[in-house]
Amino acid sequence: NPDDLYPLLKLKMAARHAEKQIPPEPQWGFCYTMLQKVSRSFALVIQQLDTDLRDAVCIFYLVLRALDTVEDDTSIATEVKVPILMAFHQHVYDREWHFSCGTNDYRVLMDEFHHVSTAFLELGRSYQQAIEDITMRMGAGMAKFICKEVETVGDYNEYCHYVAGLVGLGLSKLFHASEKEDLASDALSNSMGLFLQKTNIIRDYLEDINEIPKSRMFWPRQIWSKYVNRLEDLKDEENSVKAGRCLNDMVTNALTHAEDCLTYMAALRDPAILRFCAIPQIMAIGTLALCYNNIQVFRGVVKMRRGLTARVIHGTKTMSDVYEAFYDFSRMLKSKVDNSDPNARKTKEQLEAILKTCRDYG
Ligand code: RWZ
């Protein structure tokens, strides 16, 4: 599609530009280089922000990444892991603190964590307090879920709150600390994180289930047990109808957060912060539209085409663009709903509510 070429070129140029913008101080150089390595997409959206807020968000991300690296390392005994997770918010203040774990780039992040601490100590006090508070709460939540499975939809919401909803709360605090935004409510901030996290959990089914050593699964039993006896059974060819319905059930659950996300974004005043928040949310609803009733989710990776991603990144400027994108993807999703699906009515109700919000305000 020749229409896609131009935005794609711009995207590549933006990525190269980001590489060249590495600051000269060793601690900041390390942090921005590391951010590029652990998340190219996040390194790209973070560039929307002004310097002091961008620095705080970069450190926030790396601190949580390090916390996640500890949680994720299955070779660490629980008795060792839990105290580290619980005290991580104190370790960030200590330039001498060190704990080696993880692999590849994540191991470098852990081994050179003193650079992150040094940079953290240079942030304004209100940024530090926001990062400390969220790190403490996420560490405690991760520790709780080490020995707990995601059984009910309530557990699913609770787990997603710890690993993503809290990121939303933290970002809202950082935006407020920058004096560019009012403090958003915890409920709306939480929804911003849950919408992204639940989309990732749906899309990453196969990757998570095939992981060695066996990773925990986040699809709640309360949902999948309506369709199959074991979560792995969704992969089997003979279960494809049931698998599709289970997938649609999960997408419908994720869609319950979309209206809150629109309300959150509509209240933002700073255009750069809006772009930073909106790009991932539009990618999420686009991914849900792509995954709905698409059993490829159980066979391989389902990802939005790169040209479309580039268009989202460069085409999102104002809240009107956000309403338009949510409208288009909701319409696309609605056209895929089949009345024989047990959740068809619920799904369509969710979509109708999103479409109405977009029409009323967009
Ligand atoms: C913009 C208000 C970015 C909310 C959630 C968005 C993302 C998905 C991934 C909130 C390190 C990446 C692993 C942070 C812990 N959640 N979350 C507003 C938002 C970082 C590890 C991975 C989390 C995690």
Residue 319: name the closest of 261, 280, 274 by CA.
274
Instruction: Please report which confidence band the pLDDT of residue 21 belongs to, taking 50, 70 and 90 as the band edges.
Output: confident
Residue 60 confidence (pLDDT) above 90: yes
* Whole-angstrom distance, CA of residue 230 vs CA of residue 209: 12
Q: Which residues contact 36 (CB under 8 A, 6 or more apart)?
A: 18, 19, 43
Mean pLDDT of 292-301: 95
Pocket of ligand 1 (CB under 6 A): 61, 64-65, 68, 163-164, 167-168, 171-172, 189, 192-193, 196-197, 277
Instruction: Quote the ligand 1 centre to 38 CA distance (angstroms).
Output: 13
159 is catalytic: yes
pLDDT digit string, tens, across residues 337-354: 999 999 999 999 999 999
Q: Hey, which of 92, 138, 167 would you mutate to test ligand 1's pocket, going by the most ligand atoms within 8 Å of its Cβ?
A: 167
pLDDT (0 to 100) of residue 339: 97
Question: In this prediction, does ipTM exceed 0.90?
Answer: yes
List, in sequence order, the alpha helices (H) in 21-50. Answer: 26-38, 40-46
pLDDT per residue as tens digits for the range 119-145: 999 999 999 999 999 999 999 999 999
pLDDT band at 279 (very low <50, low <70, confident <90, very high): very high
Mean per-residue pLDDT over the chain, rounded: 94
- Give residues with Cβ within 8 angstroms of 52, minimum separation 6: 124, 178
